[in-house]
């Protein structure tokens, strides 16, 4: 996969493109998105983002780097003892990453700890948002963060849409500046596989408000064959058609926009699907009285909180045979069991498409939580760790945390680098097939069975002194 080509036509270097000499004994400022939810007793309730950061950490440690691991957690106003990163450190240790924790992310004590780091060690810097300068992308603060580092690796896709000191500012003081493995994977799925999607391509867009998805809906109309609309935004579309929607959520100032989007879909030959029946409630509560009615029969005082069974069947039929599916936003209020059936049915349908050769992408936000609640995380091609970043990338916007990374010339995409990257995401047989095409005959293994995990590492490592070991 190598350097990733962004929509603005610029290739970016990846950690996979670094030669060992660029990493060995160097201090790496590694920005990850470790902003995970915590329990009341300060345990990690969902470690997805931590686990996704591990491959990049490991590849740096394997090449004898000294790693400064940086992240924010929550939205503190100054130092907040409940938002320290020690629970993240505990989880990293459980995942096999030995890590020390700094008292702060800048300052003399931190500098001393960094100076004592040895190759192959990790120091977790404290919550960058304990300093107000972080979100302001303060130049001096960014310089302090980068002061003891040699190079920058950005693996924080979930923060890439923010120009903060630890995501964009440090790039002005360090070189090289490259993407981590998670960043690379996110860009590959959310941009490359969407831009060059194999048809039929169906997008499922849900959520409460049309206003939060305007740009992504417009962008998708130029790319998809089918567009399924669910969630609370449905009722703005229905009211724009002149249908009474009771007390359902409606953005009155977006009725014209909804009509325009439908017209644009028709002009562009996109099949746009709205629910024909919904599950309604007499109030917004988990124990509310619920009924299934046609969208043309929502009584006054009732609100729609999920798609109905007929709509679910229609949406499943529209998804059948698709080769690319992008899902962003739930079909209803899945947090309430009475109104979760539609969302979970769509999740199960999308999951069933993956082994049929469909690329299934969960594009961040509440749809990720829904897939997790349904226990289907491992059944999707890709689940994004970014909410706002995923949306902005899909909208075609430039992400500051990506734009600041080094451009790559195409000679930097070495065949063995690509093979090393494949080892993370594909089967050994697939790696062997690509290796057989890219490597000289004399360097090929004799069979896929020879490519055990250790053999893959040795095979890649010994075949090129310039290849980063995986």
Q: Is 138 annotated as a binding residue?
A: no
Q: Is 129 annotated as a binding residue?
A: yes
Q: Is 378 annotated as a binding residue?
A: no
Question: Which residues, in sequence order, are bridge partners of residue 361?
Answer: 326, 382
Q: Which H or E element spans position 277?
A: strand 277-281
Q: How many CB atoms lie within 10 A of CB 424?
A: 15
Contact criterion met (CB below 8 Å) for 179 and 160: no
Q: Is 24 annotated as a binding residue?
A: no
Q: Is 291 annotated as a binding residue?
A: no
Q: How many residues does the chain have?
A: 470
Single out the catalytic residue among 2, 246, 332, 365: 365
Quote the DSSP letter at residue 14. Answer: B
Q: Is 213 annotated as a binding residue?
A: yes
Single out the catalytic residue among 120, 372, 387, 388: 388
Q: How many CB atoms lie within 10 A of CB 174?
A: 19
Cα separation values, 396 from 7, 148, 180, 184, 270, Å: 7, 35, 21, 17, 19
Q: In 3-state terms, what secondary structure has residue 382?
A: strand
Q: Is 304 annotated as a binding residue?
A: yes
365 in catalytic set: yes
Q: Is 72 annotated as a binding residue?
A: yes
Contacts of 105 (CB under 8 A, 6+ apart): 70, 125, 126, 127, 128, 130, 131, 145, 166
49 in catalytic set: yes
401 in catalytic set: no
Q: Is 396 annotated as a binding residue?
A: no
Single out the catalytic residue among 12, 31, 49, 239: 49
Q: Is 49 annotated as a binding residue?
A: yes
Q: Is 394 annotated as a binding residue?
A: no
Q: Is 43 annotated as a binding residue?
A: no
* C-alpha–C-alpha distance, residues 425 and 321, integer Å: 24
Q: Is 296 annotated as a binding residue?
A: no
Which among 311, 396, 381, 380 has a CA at the least distance from the CA of 348?
A: 380
> Structure tokens of 316?
């499943």
51 in catalytic set: no
Q: Is 64 annotated as a binding residue?
A: no
Single out the catalytic residue among 51, 64, 209, 338: 209
Which residues are annotated binding-site positions?
33-35, 49, 72-75, 129, 162, 213, 304, 335, 364-367
Which residues are annotated binding-site positions for substrate?
33-35, 72-75
Which residues are annotated binding-site positions for ATP?
213, 304, 335, 364-367
Residues with catalytic function: 49, 209, 365, 388
């Amino acid at each position: 996969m190598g350097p990733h080509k962004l929509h603005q036509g610029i290739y970016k270097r990846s950690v996979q493109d670094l030669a060992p000499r660029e990493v060995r004994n160097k201090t790496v400022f590694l920005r990850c998105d470790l902003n995970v939810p915590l329990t009341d007793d300060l345990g990690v309730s969902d470690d997805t983002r931590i686990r996704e950061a591990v491959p990049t950490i490991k590849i740096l440690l394997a090449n004898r780097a000294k790693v400064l691991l940086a992240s924010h957690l929550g939205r503190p106003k100054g130092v907040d003892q409940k938002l320290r990163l020690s629970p993240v450190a505990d989880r990293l240790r459980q995942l096999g990453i030995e890590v020390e924790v700094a008292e702060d992310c800048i300052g003399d004590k931190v500098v001393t700890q960094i100076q004592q780091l040895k190759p192959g060690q990790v120091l977790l810097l404290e919550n960058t948002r304990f300093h107000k300068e972080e979100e302001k992308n303060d130049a001096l603060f960014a310089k302090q963060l980068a002061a003891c580092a040699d190079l920058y690796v950005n693996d924080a896709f979930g923060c890439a849409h923010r120009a903060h000191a630890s995501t964009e500012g440090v790039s002005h003081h360090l070189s090289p500046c490259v993407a981590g493995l998670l960043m690379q994977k996110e860009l590959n799925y959310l941009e490359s596989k969407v831009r060059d999607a194999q048809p039929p391509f169906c997008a499922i867009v849900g959520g409460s408000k049309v206003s939060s998805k305007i740009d992504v809906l417009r962008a998708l109309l130029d790319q998809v064959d089918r567009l399924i609309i669910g969630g609370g935004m449905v009722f703005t579309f229905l009211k724009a058609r002149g249908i009474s929607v009771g007390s359902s959520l409606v953005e009155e100032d977006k009725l014209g926009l909804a009509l325009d989007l439908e017209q644009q879909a028709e002009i562009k030959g996109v099949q746009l699907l709205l629910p024909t029946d919904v599950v309604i409630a007499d109030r917004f509560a988990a124990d509310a009285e619920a009924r299934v009615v046609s969208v043309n029969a929502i009584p006054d005082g009732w609100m729609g909180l999920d798609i109905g069974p007929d709509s679910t069947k229609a949406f499943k039929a529209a998804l059948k045979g698709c080769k690319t599916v992008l899902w962003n936003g739930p079909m209803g209020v899945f947090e309430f069991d009475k109104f979760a059936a539609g969302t979970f049915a769509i999740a199960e349908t999308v999951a069933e498409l993956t082994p049929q050769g469909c690329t299934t992408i969960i594009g961040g936000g509440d749809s990720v939580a829904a897939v997790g609640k349904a226990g289907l995380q491992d059944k999707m091609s890709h689940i994004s760790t970014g909410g706002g970043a995923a949306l902005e990338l899909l909208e075609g916007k430039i992400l500051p945390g990506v734009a600041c990374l080094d451009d790559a010339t195409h000679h930097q995409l070495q065949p063995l680098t690509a093979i090393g990257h494949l080892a993370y995401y594909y089967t050994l047989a697939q790696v062997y097939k690509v290796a057989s095409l890219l490597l000289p005959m004399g360097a090929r293994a004799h069979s896929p069975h020879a490519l055990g995990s250790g053999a893959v590492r040795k095979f890649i490592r010994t075949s090129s002194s310039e290849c980063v070991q995986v």
